[in-house]
Amino acid sequence: MGFAFRKKQKKQAALTLKDIVLPTHVGIIMDGNGRWAQKRGLPRTAGHTAGAQNFRTITKYCSSIGIRYLTVYAFSTENWKRPRQEVDSLMRLFKSYLEEALRDFKDESIVVKFIGEKTAFSQDLQRLIYENEESSKNRTGMVLNIAMNYGGRDEIVRAVQKIAGEIKSGKISVDQINEKLLSDHMYTSGQPDPDLVIRPSGEYRTSNFLLWQSAYTEYVILDNVLWPDFTEKMLDDALLEYARRNRRFGGV
């Protein structure tokens, strides 16, 4: 993985998005909502609301510039450990958003998918998740993966459990286990691995996001920027930084 936002490269000849090959699949760790609110003397829930609004803006922008797959980290398996009041507020926010999302992204023909263990959510949320996926599945635009109750380790464990069950039933043999088989049992089955993951907030860690899929993913970390303040211009800069990287995939 490549982990740096090398600001010195801004001094090179100015590039624009028209000059580069865009990554096919971009991941975003939407980090810093709570800190954004605290810096403004607001409750953490206000940060999550602002982050949700920015999610819509950035998603539509990614679609407009030609990104084919976008995966956003909305709620991790570890986020259940947060204070109950904050978790309950997030669940209400998710419900409100999912109700709006049935109408959202239609003009952009965005396909909406949810990755993660959905059964942990309330019946209302599960129904809205299903309705969003069903109503958008025949669209032809960008694929949006929303990671909710998602953890990379949990995803790998569940994939292995499914494969073990198929071996036990005689559907496949141990000799058939390979990287492709595991990839086919991930939530992102059939999709390309992420080329680029962007993380605002200056945290230099993966936070259990797309662990299997990101073996050769480039990371761009933005210091001193929290997710609600992340702009389209910052996304452009991250894409240009990605374009300057030499991706060797373990070679020379």
Taking only the tens place, the pLDDT of each residue in 92-130 is 999 998 998 888 899 999 999 999 999 999 999 999 999
Residue 40: inside a domain = yes
What is the pLDDT averaged over residues 73-95?
94
Residue 179: inside a domain = yes
pLDDT above 70 (res 31): yes
Residue 234: inside a domain = yes
Residue 189: inside a domain = yes
- Check 19, 31, 54, 246 and give the catalytic one: 31
Q: How far is 7 from 123, CA to CA, in rounded Å?
A: 46
Q: How far is 40 from 47, CA to CA, in rounded Å?
A: 9
CB 26 within 8 A of CB 62: yes
Q: How far is 62 from 249, CA to CA, in rounded Å?
A: 25
Name the binding residues. 31-36, 44, 48, 76-78, 80, 82, 199, 205-207, 218
Residue 252: inside a domain = no
Q: How far is 86 from 84, CA to CA, in rounded Å?
A: 5
CATH number at residue 154: 3.40.1180.10
pLDDT value at position 251?
65
pLDDT value at position 57?
97
pLDDT tens figures, 145-203: 999 999 999 999 999 999 999 999 999 999 999 999 999 999 999 999 999 999 999 99
Where does the pLDDT of residue 6 fall: very low under 50, low under 70, confident under 90, or very high at 90 and above? very low
- Give me the number of domains the chain comprises: 1
Residue 77: inside a domain = yes
pLDDT above 60 (res 9): no
Q: Which residues contact 247 (CB under 8 A, 6 or more apart)?
A: 195, 216, 218
pLDDT value at position 247?
75
Percent of the chain scoring above 90 in pLDDT = 87
Name the binding residues for substrate. 32-36, 44, 48, 76-78, 80, 82, 199, 205-207
pLDDT tens figures, 192-240: 999 999 999 999 999 999 999 999 999 999 999 999 999 999 999 999 9
* H or E element in which residue 43 lies: none
Where does the pLDDT of residue 252 fall: very low under 50, low under 70, confident under 90, or very high at 90 and above? low
What is the pLDDT averaged over residues 242-247?
88
Name the binding residues for Mg(2+). 31, 218
Q: How far is 86 from 21, CA to CA, in rounded Å?
A: 40
- Check 19, 54, 79, 184 and give the catalytic one: 79
Highest mean pLDDT of the ranges 1-5, 52-56, 94-98? 52-56
Burial 214-226 (b: 16+ CB within 10 A, else e): beebbbbbbeebb
Q: What pTM value is reported for the model? A: 0.91
104 is catalytic: no
132 is catalytic: no
What is the pLDDT averaged over residues 70-98?
94
Residue 249: inside a domain = no
CA angle 29, 33, 231 (to 5 degrees): 65
Residue 93: inside a domain = yes
pLDDT value at position 13?
59
> What is the residue range of 130's domain?
2-13+20-244
pLDDT value at position 8?
45
